[in-house]
């Protein structure tokens, strides 16, 4: 077992990090990676490129176009590195960028791992970003988990940040659901909606959450005159 682990480390260090015996150079976002076609073929993206009639199939230097703004150099580094090792440690703060890279390169195992990381790290701070990313990259199970989290926690985890991030469509979905957890009375939902609407209409407002209702009441009263 120890030998296997050291072999895996050796492959990652020697072939990926040092680029020894590289037979292809990948250029993207101003960076270069000296890699190996045999490892890159684990990616659906490169497998199609090398086996098909793409002009890149016989090239030794490939310029990658990165159309997705979520993808950065660090995400590509981890995604390429995942082809040379069994375990990838995913930092939750980097998971969306990594998911974007994994989807572009068609790395199914890494996509799945990103999805699991997202499901395990849903909080008031991450839920809206995760929900939107799950929609963009087709992770239905993550989207469902985010929706469940919001239905269970929206009323008890209200904050300026969360209310600013909640889109109209998502809020509509939440308040029309019979599964929305309401602690006391329906009036609470109305009050929450008023705060949310104020923060949607005045996104530059940055006071404390305790002041939102007073500010919202004053703001709406002003416009009723």
Lowest-confidence segment of 4-13, 42-51, 102-111, 197-206 by average pLDDT: 4-13
Looking at residue 54, its pLDDT comes to 65
Which pLDDT tens digit goes with each residue over 107-163? Answer: 999 999 999 999 999 999 999 999 999 999 999 999 999 999 999 999 999 999 999
**Domain ranges for the chain:** 149-225
58 and 51 Cβ atoms separated by less than 8 Å = no
Length of the chain: 225
pLDDT exceeds cutoff 80 at 29? yes
Looking at residue 90, its pLDDT comes to 96
Residue 164's region, left for phi above 0, alpha for psi from -120 to 50, else beta, is alpha
Strand ranges, E, within the chain: 24-28, 31-35, 61-63
Model pTM score = 0.89
d(CA 102, CA 43): 9
Helix axes 95-105, 44-51, angle to 10 degrees: 30
d(CA 183, CA 156): 8
Looking at residue 46, its pLDDT comes to 93
Q: Which long-range contacts (CB under 8 A, 24 or more apart) does 203-207 make?
A: 203/164, 205/160, 206/160, 207/160
Confidence band (pLDDT; 50, 70, 90) for 56?
low
Q: How many CA atoms lie within 13 A of 178 on its CB side?
A: 0
pLDDT exceeds cutoff 70 at 188? yes
């Amino acid at each position: 077992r120890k030998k296997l682990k050291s072999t895996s480390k050796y492959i990652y260090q020697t072939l990926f990090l040092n680029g020894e015996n590289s037979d292809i150079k990948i250029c993207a976002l101003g960076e270069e990676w000296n890699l190996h076609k045999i490892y890159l073929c684990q990616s659906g993206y490169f497998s199609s490129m090398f086996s098909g009639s793409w002009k890149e199939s016989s090239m030794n230097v490939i310029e990658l176009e990165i159309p997705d703004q979520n993808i950065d150099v660090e995400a590509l580094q981890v995604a390429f590195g995942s082809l040379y090792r069994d375990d990838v440690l995913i930092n939750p703060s980097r998971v969306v960028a990594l998911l974007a890279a994994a989807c572009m390169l068609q790395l199914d195992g890494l996509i799945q791992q990103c999805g699991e990381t997202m499901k395990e790290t849903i909080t008031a701070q991450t839920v809206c970003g995760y929900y939107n990313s799950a929609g963009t990259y087709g992770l239905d199970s993550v989207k469902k988990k985010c929706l469940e989290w919001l239905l269970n926690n929206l009323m008890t985890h209200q904050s300026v940040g969360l209310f600013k991030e909640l889109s109209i469509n998502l809020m509509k979905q939440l308040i029309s659901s019979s599964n929305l957890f309401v602690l006391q009375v329906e009036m609470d939902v109305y009050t929450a909606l008023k705060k949310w609407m104020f923060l949607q209409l005045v996104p530059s407002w940055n006071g404390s959450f305790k002041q939102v209702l007073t500010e919202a009441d004053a703001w709406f009263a002003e416009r009723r005159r």
